[in-house]
């Protein structure tokens, strides 16, 4: 069971990382491209972005929030299973990297709630500084890219340890 959970967590990590890449390097930059700095064109673009962003947010919120939560729980379960003993899981992997992965994923959930949600709200509310807020959002979203990449690599490395012959 734990090996299936590990495989699911690894897959989820790279899906989450791919989503962060798409948001930070494609979606928001495309929405902010050729941003007018003043005049009536700027106001029209602010209104347009405030209508487009909630669509992006809803899709991300309905799919990626549960996926991130399940990944956190999956890594915590794996750590607990390995800590409980090899007879439970049938392996001698170290539980600590998986516990660290669960903790790192939890920090992403906290980061999303504390740092990212207020920015989502400002973008959707047609904040007058929407370009600056969007740019900050892209920068802060890099954390949601880095953590799944790191935890995915750590989990793949841990999962492959028993395949290495010394």
**144-156 confidence digits (pLDDT tens):** 999 999 999 999 9
**Highest mean pLDDT, choosing among 37-46, 77-86, 134-143:** 134-143
Looking at residue 166, what is its pLDDT?
42
Contact 119, 140 (CB under 8 A): yes
pLDDT at 138 over 60: yes
In which domain, by residue range, is 66 found?
2-7+37-163
Residue 15 lies in a domain: no
pLDDT at 88 over 80: no
In the chain, what percentage of residues exceed pLDDT 90? 60
More confident residue, 123 or 89: 123
Structure tokens at 90: 């049938």
Residue 158 lies in a domain: yes
Looking at residue 161, what is its pLDDT?
62
Which pTM does this prediction carry? 0.87
Looking at residue 159, what is its pLDDT?
84
| 3 pLDDT tier (thresholds 50, 70, 90) | confident
Residue 21 lies in a domain: no
Task: Please spell the DSSP secondary structure of 89-147, one letter per residue.
Answer: HS----SHHHHHHHHHHHHHHHHIIIIIHHHHHHHHTT-TTHHHHHHHHHHHHHHHHHH
The number of distinct structural domains making up the chain is 1
pLDDT at 38 over 90: no
Residue 114 lies in a domain: yes
């Amino acid at each position: 069971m734990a090996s299936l959970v590990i495989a699911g967590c690894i897959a989820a990590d790279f899906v989450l990382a791919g989503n962060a890449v798409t948001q930070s390097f494609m979606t928001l930059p495309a929405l902010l491209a050729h941003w007018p700095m003043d005049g009536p064109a700027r106001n029209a673009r602010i209104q347009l972005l405030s209508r487009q962003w909630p669509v992006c947010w809803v899709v991300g919120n309905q799919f990626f929030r549960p996926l991130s939560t399940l990944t956190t729980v999956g890594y915590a379960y794996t750590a607990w299973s390995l800590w409980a003993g090899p007879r439970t899981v049938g392996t001698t992997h170290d539980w600590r990297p998986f516990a660290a992965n669960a903790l790192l994923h939890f920090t992403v959930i906290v980061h999303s709630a504390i740092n990212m949600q207020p920015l989502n709200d400002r973008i959707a509310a047609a904040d007058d500084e929407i370009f600056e807020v969007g740019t900050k959002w892209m920068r802060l979203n890099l954390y949601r890219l880095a953590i799944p990449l790191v935890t995915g690599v750590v989990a793949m490395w841990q999962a492959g340890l028993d395949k290495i012959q010394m």
